[in-house]
Amino acid sequence: MLRNMHLSAAMKLLLSLLVLLLAVSSATVAAPPPSSVIVVGAGLSGIAAAKTLHDAGIKDIVILEATPKIGGRLSKVAFAGKTMEVGACWYFGGGPQHNPLVDIANSLKLNTYPTNFGNLSSNTYKQQGGLYPKAEVDAALGAGAARAQFCTNLSTTLNSNPRSDQDVSVMGAYLLYKQVPATPLEMVVDYFNNDYIDAQAPQLTSVKHKYPRHELVDHGVNFNYVKDPRGFESMAYHIADQFLKKGDPRLKLNKVVREISYSKKGVTVKTEDGSVFEAKFAILSASLGVLQSNLISFKPEFPMWKRVAISDFSMATYTKIFIKFPHKFWPTGPGTEVFFYAHQHHGYYPIWKHLENEYPGSNILFVTVTGDESIRIEKQSDEATKAEAMEVLKKMFGNNIPNPDAILVPRWWTNRFFKGSYVNWPPRYSHEQFQHLQAPVGPVYFTGEHTSEKYMGFATGAYFSGIESANDVIKCLNRKICRAH
């Protein structure tokens, strides 16, 4: 009798376990039905890709975005009562080629102000203070322009033989030209011509692939600075509004993708909160920095050609540090908005801009640092950064300047959803390797600024790449013409 009692209790336990098991497995079955395409990331590239799919009639899509908002590296922060663009702040116009972002800005009536970099010979400060004589800066700017021309010429030569992989760093080109920037003045001018665009030092940049600067050659040198409370990110929202209804269930925010399993049959995507999504294809728009990190695991692991292409490319970091003061102590007349600080240490708080044109009376300055300096500054406290910036400002403007009210130090490199600001093309990384970086692995396609050969590092690169990778998937889905490695 006692024995039987025990048995039935055990049976009951077993039964309830079975019920639990069934419940768990039916919960898994209750995952959303498979879609055609899962887009990972709702930055400019992911949103442009999703809209392209939708417009082509592929409407069963899911967009999984890790953060609470779309736009990714188009990102604004409220600071001192104004809107600061901590990610991209300029889009480019006035060139021979049409920039679709200009159209988007126009239809949004986006508020912008053109940045004038044309007056630096009057605005360059010495390490210990005082302005350089105009003629001296003009000479340095002229020498910088000649070095840039040499790099462009060399790039043309290197690119003229399609079978050769020969390449050289920008610094290597200077050695060839026997003109290496050495003084603080020469270095800050060179910083403006290179690091300020590439977000890395000239030793780390390919001449063959970064000269000329296609974005500026094609789309123009009008730097349109976004000074709109809706932010640069409103461009991404504008595209999204054209195909996503309000509260459209196809856009899922706060969904951090942690695992992508793939096979010939399709993809299974798992997020940090335990959700599972299935589709025929994935379009992955996470940055190169994210791909180089462990955030997303791929099952099976990507083939060696893909892993090498990812690990050998460079994710750079570009940081705009915003500082708010109780009052102005810098010149604000015409042609003063950008000023240089020339220091013996390459890239030490080098390029400053006031926001008096964009936000009159705001008393905000921002200084741009890049590469190793960005990483160093991300690792230290904001107080330490404030102290360094103040020391530099005191050299330029004297000791009687006020303490800042606030400082904003973005941390793109630390952020696990970005791991840097944008890519730079390292010397001797070949065109063929770049094709590996772009190429899909089975049903997993890649998009984002890092896949745009011409406009990497720019918002246009993200936008165009989103459309292109969606078109690759559409071709594969509809006509079975599939891009392969």
Ligand X SMILES: *[C@@H]1O[C@H](CO)[C@@H](O)[C@H](O)[C@H]1NC(C)=O
Ligand Y SMILES: Cc1cc2nc3c(=O)[nH]c(=O)nc-3n(C[C@H](O)[C@H](O)[C@H](O)COP(=O)(O)OP(=O)(O)OC[C@H]3O[C@@H](n4cnc5c(N)ncnc54)[C@H](O)[C@@H]3O)c2cc1C
111 binds ligand X (CB under 6 A): no
Secondary structure of residue 426 in the 3-state scheme: coil
Cα separation, 356 vs 364, in Å, equals 8
Annotated binding residues, as ranges?
45, 65-66, 209, 257
150 binds ligand X (CB under 6 A): yes
Report, in Å, the least distance between residue 409 CB and ligand Y: 12
Q: Judged by CB under 6 A, which of 111, 115, 153, 203 binds ligand X? A: 153
203 binds ligand X (CB under 6 A): no
- Cβ contacts of residue 410 below 8 Å, gap of 6+? 77, 86, 87, 319, 320, 321
Report, in Å, the least distance between residue 238 CB and ligand Y: 14
Site residues, ligand Y (CB under 6 A): 40-46, 64-67, 72-74, 87-91, 256-257, 285-287, 290, 295-296, 318, 412, 417-418, 421-422, 448-449, 457-459, 461-462
Secondary structure of residue 3 in the 3-state scheme: helix
Report, in Å, the least distance between residue 176 CB and ligand X: 10
Alpha carbon distance, N-terminus to C-terminus of the chain: 70
Using alpha carbons, select from 276, 336, 288 the residue that is nearest to residue 312. 288
Stretch that binds ligand X, among 117-125, 226-234, 249-257, 407-415 (CB under 6 A): 117-125
Report, in Å, the least distance between residue 379 CB and ligand Y: 17
293 binds ligand X (CB under 6 A): no
Q: Which does 422 bind (CB under 5 to 8 A by kind): ligand X, ligand Y, none?
A: ligand Y
Longest alpha-carbon distance in the chain: 107
Q: Which does 150 bind (CB under 5 to 8 A by kind): ligand X, ligand Y, none?
A: ligand X
Report, in Å, the least distance between residue 398 CB and ligand X: 18
Q: What is the DSSP string of 309-373?
A: HHHHSEEE-EEEEEEE-SS--S--STT-SEEEE--SSTTSS-EEEE-TTTSTT--EEEEEEEHHH
Annotated binding residues for substrate, as ranges?
209
- 454, with CB counted inside 10 A (0-12, 13-18, 19+), is middle
User: What is the residue whose two structure tokens read 């959303």?
Assistant: 32
Q: Judged by CB under 6 A, which of 96, 249, 274, 333 binds ligand X? A: 333
Report, in Å, the least distance between residue 355 CB and ligand Y: 15
- Cβ contacts of residue 123 below 8 Å, gap of 6+? 131, 331, 335, 336, 338, 339, 340
305 binds ligand X (CB under 6 A): no
Beta bridge partners of 206: 169
Decide whether 146 or 175 has the Cβ nearer to ligand X. Answer: 146
DSSP-derived letter for residue 301 is P
Q: CA dihedral in degrees (306, 453, 455, 345; nearest 10)? A: 70
Q: Which does 119 bind (CB under 5 to 8 A by kind): ligand Y, ligand X, none?
A: ligand X
Decide whether 174 or 413 has the Cβ nearer to ligand X. Answer: 174
For helices 459-479 and 100-108, the axis angle rounded to 10 degrees is 110
Report, in Å, the least distance between residue 154 CB and ligand X: 8
DSSP-derived letter for residue 293 is S
Q: Which residue is nearest to ligand X (CB)?
A: 335
149 binds ligand X (CB under 6 A): yes
335 binds ligand X (CB under 6 A): yes
Decide whether 125 or 191 has the Cβ nearer to ligand Y. Answer: 191
Query: What residue ranges bind ligand X (CB under 6 A)?
Result: 118-119, 122, 146, 149-150, 153, 331, 333-336
